Amino acid sequence: MELDTFMDEVVRKNPGETEFHQAVKEIAVNLIPFINKNPQYEEACILERMIEPDRTIIFSVCWEDDDGKPQINRGYRIQFNNAIGPYKGGLRFHPSVNLSVLKFLGFEQIFKNSLTTLPMGGGKGGSDFDPKGKSDREVMRFCQFFMTELSRHIGEDIDVPAGDIGVGEREIGYMYGQYKKLQKEFSGALTGKGLNFGGSPLRKEATGYGCVYFAAEMLKNKDQSLEGTRCLISGSGNVSIYTAEKLIEEGAHVVTLSDSSGFIHDPEGLNSEKLSFLKELKEERRGRISEYAEEFGCEYYADEKPWIVPCDIAFPCATQNEINENDARMLIGNGCQVVCEGSNMSTTFDGIKIFESAGIMHAPSKAANAGGVAVSGLEMSQNSLGLTWSREEIDERLRVIMRRIHEQCVKHGKKNGQIDYFMGANIAGFVKVADVMLAYGIV
């Protein structure tokens, strides 16, 4: 198999789906040489089968706004691969959502879920609905209409959605309420639920905490630690907030945060008082990050990304392709040694190459942000057992899972005396799913 021929076929079969092409290429670049050395995968066309979703569900979501006017959005669920467990992956509500974005996310999810060592297949869904600027009642009505259709396709042993951009505890609550009403059952068909209706302790914190645990593992491998490091975080949503919280606990200095309008630079670094303000601003008031700069008298840079600030470690935690080639050069020039991806596919293909040639430790999202889906997996286990584990127990399990993901990356990622975390994560994530697909035969 040859990369260019393989990618030509991917582009031909999925026209215009640029994010999906990018996600496939990022994986194929490592997997094709591996598959060429392991012909059992080539003979069974495993990679070709993996890039084709099992099922793509697209539906209209018609709902009524506060003025009584009908609004029409498009809903999606991509059930990508359930070789190792029920389809599992978040729902994203954002105006940029389209088939390409969700296919890239669903495809990556197969590998990420495999890395967690838990029995979860890959899926993703969402809508081009924008929760920003909508009233609570509008969000509720949208979620209910979205779930009216989605409920036909999900279930605790079939497909278990969770949150993502624009979908937090509020939206999951509204969707679960509707699911329960329609299906007449109280089951673990969604994760990220509130603690009083089947949610797991630490689910909200899990992606951010897990990302920091992964960064700590990368540093430990080089006899270093997070203490005293200067860290940039982008975004100010769920992943960013809990990445910041854990970094502060570890003694690191978090000096930036952002949203889609700009970033703040706080050279003194966040502390617990500033973090409490941030949580109230973003989780309760749904305000803008510029208000942080007003409150604490630091600089706000409109329409800029944080990557121009000198740092030791960068944690992109906002959205895909937020680090491009120029950003990567800027980060390296300003002293950055480690990039740990909290957001999915944070770096463009060319950006990855720049980090690679500079020998930067770069953790791909499928490894570094797998803590969120891992604790979702633990939420599913708790729901099946009818038990709730303690916060401490889940934190310990999360630490172990992130350590094991790191070990898998090291095992499969050794290259020229360094660890290629992308190669390690891609191969380790692939092998488990591929071997199970071989066991099933051609189905």
Residues 131/63, Cβ–Cβ less than 8 Å: no
Strand ranges, E, within 54-121: 55-64, 70-81, 87-93
Using the structure block, give the residue that is written with the tokens 């100010």: 236
- Taking the complex as a whole, the smallest distance from the CB of residue 319 to ligand NDP amounts, in Å, to 4
- Of residues 216, 219, 283, 224, the one with CA closest to residue 249: 216
CA separation for the pair 112, 429 (Å, rounded):
7
Identify the burial level of 49 via C-beta atoms within 10 angstroms of its C-beta, where 0-12 means exposed, 13-18 middle and 19 or more buried. middle
What is 159-209 written as a DSSP string?
EEEE-BTTB-HHHHHHHHHHHHHHHT----SSSS--GGGTPPTTHHHHHHH
325-335 burial, b for 16+ CB within 10 Å, e for fewer?
A: eebbebbbebe
Nearer to ligand NDP by C-beta: 317 or 363? 317
- The overall longest dimension of the chain from CA atoms, in Å, is 63
- Taking the complex as a whole, the smallest distance from the CB of residue 17 to ligand NDP amounts, in Å, to 17
The angle that helices 203-220 and 391-413 make with each other, rounded to 10 degrees, is 40
Q: Which of 88, 112, 124, 193 is catalytic?
A: 124
Please name the residues in contact with 184: beta carbons below 8 A apart, sequence gap of 6 or more.
none
**Residues of this chain that bind ligand NDP (CB under 6 A):** 163-166, 207, 235-239, 259-261, 317-319, 342-344, 369, 372
CA angle, 362 as apex, 361 and 367 as ends, to 5°? 125
Nearer to ligand NDP by C-beta: 239 or 401? 239
Nearer to ligand NDP by C-beta: 217 or 259? 259
What is 15-59 written as a DSSP string?
TT-HHHHHHHHHHHHHHHHHHHH-HHHHHTTHHHHHTS-SEEEEE
Nearer to ligand NDP by C-beta: 348 or 369? 369
CB atoms within 10 A of CB 432: 18
- Taking the complex as a whole, the smallest distance from the CB of residue 204 to ligand NDP amounts, in Å, to 8
- Taking the complex as a whole, the smallest distance from the CB of residue 222 to ligand NDP amounts, in Å, to 25
- Taking the complex as a whole, the smallest distance from the CB of residue 341 to ligand NDP amounts, in Å, to 9
Nearer to ligand NDP by C-beta: 372 or 437? 372
- Of residues 113, 6, 172, 86, the one with CA closest to residue 432: 113
Closest-by-Cβ residue to ligand NDP is: 237
Nearer to ligand NDP by C-beta: 236 or 256? 236
Tokens representing 318 are 């906002």
Nearer to ligand NDP by C-beta: 232 or 434? 232
- Taking the complex as a whole, the smallest distance from the CB of residue 385 to ligand NDP amounts, in Å, to 22
R_g over Cα of the chain = 21
Nearer to ligand NDP by C-beta: 371 or 434? 371
- Taking the complex as a whole, the smallest distance from the CB of residue 5 to ligand NDP amounts, in Å, to 31
- Taking the complex as a whole, the smallest distance from the CB of residue 37 to ligand NDP amounts, in Å, to 31
* Whether residue 124 lies in the annotated active site: yes
Residues 217/402, Cβ–Cβ less than 8 Å: yes
* Angular region, 250: left φ>0, alpha ψ -120 to 50, beta rest: alpha
Residues classed as catalytic:
124
